[in-house]
Structure 1
Amino acid sequence: MSTADVSGKSLAELVSLRGRRAVVTGGARGLGKAIASRLAEAGAALLIGDLDEEQATAAAKELAERHGVPAIGAAMDVTDAAAVATAADRAVAELGGLEIWVNNAGIFPAVPLLEMTEETWDQVFAVNARGVFVGAREAARRMSAGRPGRGGVIVNIVSTAGFRGSAPGLAAYVGSKHAVRGLTRELALELAPLGIRVLGVAPSFVPTEGNLAMAAAAGVNLDEIPPTDLMLNSPIGRIGTPDDIARVALFCASDLSAFMTGSTLLADGGDTA
């Protein structure tokens, strides 16, 4: 099935997500919440999935009031296939359908390879790689069920770590993100006949609650590190913000990217160039 030619649409129509329903995993805070906010601003109804159901519900309420769209929060552990399926069913039942799914949930414990246990390795892959597989599978099932020609978009949050080594102690994280980048290409191939596009977004380091907590656990005080050091040789000359990444995710989810699938877009200030 071919995707629609949207050349005749206005710019406002290309950006608009009115009438579309989106799920964002790990969406209660940080990068996930920033993405959810931009999708809602563009008009999408939302289900925010997160391990912390209370925080997900609070984020959904905030975005619904700010942007005037339906939004609900749901408990979601992306390592639990049944929980992911339940959240996907709830999006269809309460929002009326599903056209956009953002696989954002991820973890990144810093453990030197010689000290890393199999349990830590497996947990990182369970969240970062298997969680993407399960989310994409459940999204695709609902995007295609009984809805010929509708299709949808799956956006996987990868990382610049999916293109290169990152830092000592991140072997599991780097391995999992390379897996997600490869999975993005394969999913695009398999789901194209269903009218489902699959794109990846690869951010560099962005200060979110999760990243700051990881740095603190590793004994690193980011306030004492010049932003230029954090960005290394970035041509942009500044560190990214969650909204820098959210805008790229919005591009992927909208008809602006209608002729794209299988690509992973670097959102890194040029740091990986």
Structure 2
Amino acid sequence: MAVTDVSSHPLADLISLRGRSAVVTGGAQGLGKAIARRLAEAGASVLIGDLKVGQAETAAVELSASYGTKVIAAGLDVTDSASIAAMGALAVQELGGVDIWVNNAGLYPNVSLFEMTDEAWDQVMAVNLRGVFASCREAARRMIDAGNGGVLINIVSTAGFSGVAPGVAAYVASKHGVRGLVRQLAIELAPHDIRVLGVAPTFCETEGNTAALAALPERVRQEISATLMSKLGRVGVPDDIARVVLFAASDMAAFMTGSTLLADAGEVA
């Protein structure tokens, strides 16, 4: 199977997601909600999965009303493969299939090396790495069964390219793992016309990030805060990342797979 040559397609068609269905994990707020918003605006039907079911349902109602597309929500625990499988089944039942799956759900704990227990480490890996793997596996199965290809997009982080600050060893390790998973799954799934991309944000002002920053020790908080102002003159906001995800999901990126796109305002450069 060869990827479609879209050279003759008009620009409006390349960016449009009409007729496609998308799943966004961790989509109740922050980056996930911003991603769901842009996908819905581009015409996709969207299923938001999140542990915060009420908040996800509120987001779904808001986005559906704003863009006139079908947006629904359901509870999702990415550490539970059965929960992920149920999300895939719901997408097929309610949206007609899975064309785009965005793995956004994640944890960002700050625990020093000597205070990090095996259980705490395993929890970060269960959400940030194993949950991404299991979600890609479920989505890819659905895409292969339908025979129409698709796009898997994994939210990595600039932490997937380098160390960050004291106390985030598990997070950094998990994000390096996700970046590697993007490269490997791109090889395995290319014969099925499934593209796999990563998007690596720098720090953005979200509810979760703001709370995580406030919980850090003062010295660490000051060290991170000093690096937040980007080369572009401001801190990132969720839509800065959502626009890159939309590009990756659309036919604008039809010839891209295996890459992790930096949405970092020059942080890694």
Given candidates 144, 151, 154, the residue that maps to 2:152 is 154
- Structure 2 letter corresponding to 1:137: R
Q: CA RMSD in A?
A: 1.8
Match in the other structure for 2:126: 126
Report the TM-score when normalising by structure 1: 0.95
Match in the other structure for 2:202: 204
Mapped partners of 2:18, 2:190: distance in 1: 23
- Equivalent residues in 2 for 1:16-165 (5 A)? 16-145=16-145, 147-148=146-147, 150-165=148-163
Mapped partners of 1:252, 1:216: distance in 2: 32
Q: Deviations over 1:83-106 (max 9, x none)?
A: 010011001101111100000000
List gaps (5 residues or longer) in structure 1: none
SS in 1 for 2:109: coil
Q: Deviations over 1:116-175 (max 9, x none)?
A: 101110000000000100110000010110x33x10000000000000001100000000
Given candidates 249, 252, 261, the residue that maps to 1:265 is 261
SS in 1 for 2:61: helix
SS in 2 for 1:202: strand
1:226 and 1:66, CA in 2 relative to 1: closer, same or farther beyond 3 A? farther
Mapped partners of 1:251, 1:140: distance in 2: 20
Runs of 4+ off more than 3 Å = 219-222, 224-228
Mapped partners of 2:222, 2:46: distance in 1: 36
1:214 and 1:151, CA in 2 relative to 1: closer, same or farther beyond 3 A? same
SS in 2 for 1:265: strand
Query: Contact 2:103–2:135 at 8 Å: present in 1 too?
Result: yes
SS in 2 for 1:47: strand
- Structure 2 letter corresponding to 1:240: G
Mapped partners of 1:220, 1:256: distance in 2: 43
- CA apart distance, 1:231: 2.7
SS in 2 for 1:48: strand
Q: Percent identity?
A: 63
List gaps (5 residues or longer) in structure 2: none
Mapped partners of 2:224, 2:125: distance in 1: 30
SS in 2 for 1:83: helix
SS in 1 for 2:24: strand
